[in-house]
Amino acid sequence: MFEAIRLIPALQAIFRSGIEFTEESFAELNAAQQEAYERKVAVPDEPIFRVLPYEPTVIERQGNEKVTLELTIATQSERQLLLDAVQFIHCATNEMPEESTSFEQRLANLRQRLPPIVIGEPDIDRFEGG
């Protein structure tokens, strides 16, 4: 139970995106990206990674050639939380056959069993008098 509490932000991100994060879902920033991050945000106190499943967002166009992209970034600890949350999802649904169950099916199974706060959905019954 305590594991689920620690993982709530990561579980919410996974339930929103439906992404099964793996080690390959993250890449270290190149030198230019690292420099831009440090200029825009701060010098990080832990390694930071691009989250590859998320497409970069165009935030600024300059002339016909230069485009500024906003990357989705995760710190080392956020990355580890996402990976731990995926492992938690697999463990919590271990009664489902590993080889024939999609990650989407695992999320659907857990969506019915976890409290709405854990999956990032409002508690509808509370608002409907239930």
**pLDDT one-digit tens code per residue, 33-69:** 899 899 988 999 999 999 999 877 665 666 665 656 6
- Token pair, residue 60, equals 């600024």
DSSP 5-49: HHTHHHHHHHHHH-----GGGEEE--HHHHHHHHHHT---SS-EE
Residue 127: which pLDDT band, with cuts at 50, 70 and 90?
Answer: very low
- 60 φ, ψ to 5°? -160, 135
Residue 130: which pLDDT band, with cuts at 50, 70 and 90?
Answer: very low
- Please state the pTM of the whole predicted model: 0.80
